[in-house]
Amino acid sequence: MIDTHAHLLMFENYGEKIINSMSDDGLEAVVNIGTTLNDSKEGVLLAEKNENIFAAIGIYPEYAKTVSPEVIEELKQLAKSPKVVAIGEIGLDYHTEGYDAELQKQVLIEQLKLADEMKLPFCIHCRGAAKDMFNLLSENKHLINHSGLMHCYSEGAEWVQKFLSLGLYISFSGNITYKKSDRSFLKDIPLDRLLIETDAPYLAPEPLRGTKNEPKNVRFVLDKIAIELGISSSKLNKITSENAKRLYYKMGK
Ligand SMILES: [Zn+2]
């Protein structure tokens, strides 16, 4: 299994225990996600030290205020590492107290430009902002040349085909396993656009909801989607792993 989105730096010793037991846990690779310039730097170091760890780098919408041309330039230098597979997580979050939508949009566009310039896909965080996100991505379609993914997808059936129409992948985390989650639209997503992730340490899937999530729990996300689609977990695992390597193409190099 490949966990396409985890925050390893939030674990003791940057997830050393998790990394050491990856093969026992059936984990082929984990992508550590950046949210600030500092954790993006640390994430690249971690990925460079561990063969099966990869890094996404970027500034999370809540930290939009910290972005300057210098920060973008530093991210650009970091993106040159062979272990950096994506720009993210970047996006729009309208749930944060006192959020500045215009600033978040500007910062998102700057980072979409960075992804395009560095020939990398991007990883989108979107909370309560589906309409603005779709409009912004549509208006900046010229910057989507290496695709991207909607992380922890939670915008429901209404938006999924719209994001798919932009050529994006749809990634699910523990949220898709929750009792009240709408899973009816899963079958409408082409199999070659599906990804699985944990967002660890957040969003532990059922039956572990409420505990500190770990990358190995991506298995529960995989199993739930496989049941919904009526295919075996091993087949879906093969498909989602291939998808991850196609999107995060630097993984295979
Ligand atoms: Zn995340």
pLDDT-derived band of residue 97, with 50, 70 and 90 as boundaries? confident
CA of 7 to the centre of ligand 1 (A): 6
CA of 130 to the centre of ligand 1 (A): 17
CA of 123 to the centre of ligand 1 (A): 9
Checking if the pLDDT of 253 tops 70, the result is no
CA of 201 to the centre of ligand 1 (A): 9
CA of 33 to the centre of ligand 1 (A): 6
CA of 163 to the centre of ligand 1 (A): 19
**Chain segment 7-38, per-residue pLDDT in tens:** 999 999 999 999 999 999 999 999 999 999 99
CATH assignment of the domain containing 120: 3.20.20.140
State how far the Cα of 162 lies from the Cα of 69, in Å rounded to an integer. Answer: 31
Q: What is the pTM of this model?
A: 0.96
State how far the Cα of 218 lies from the Cα of 222, in Å rounded to an integer. Answer: 6
CA of 5 to the centre of ligand 1 (A): 6
**Chain segment 136-186, per-residue pLDDT in tens:** 999 999 999 999 999 999 998 999 999 999 999 999 999 999 999 999 999
Full domain range(s) for residue 31: 2-252
Cβ neighbours of residue 32 closer than 8 Å, sequence gap 6 or more: 6, 7, 8, 9, 15, 43, 46, 47, 53, 54, 55, 56
> What total number of domains does the chain contain?
1
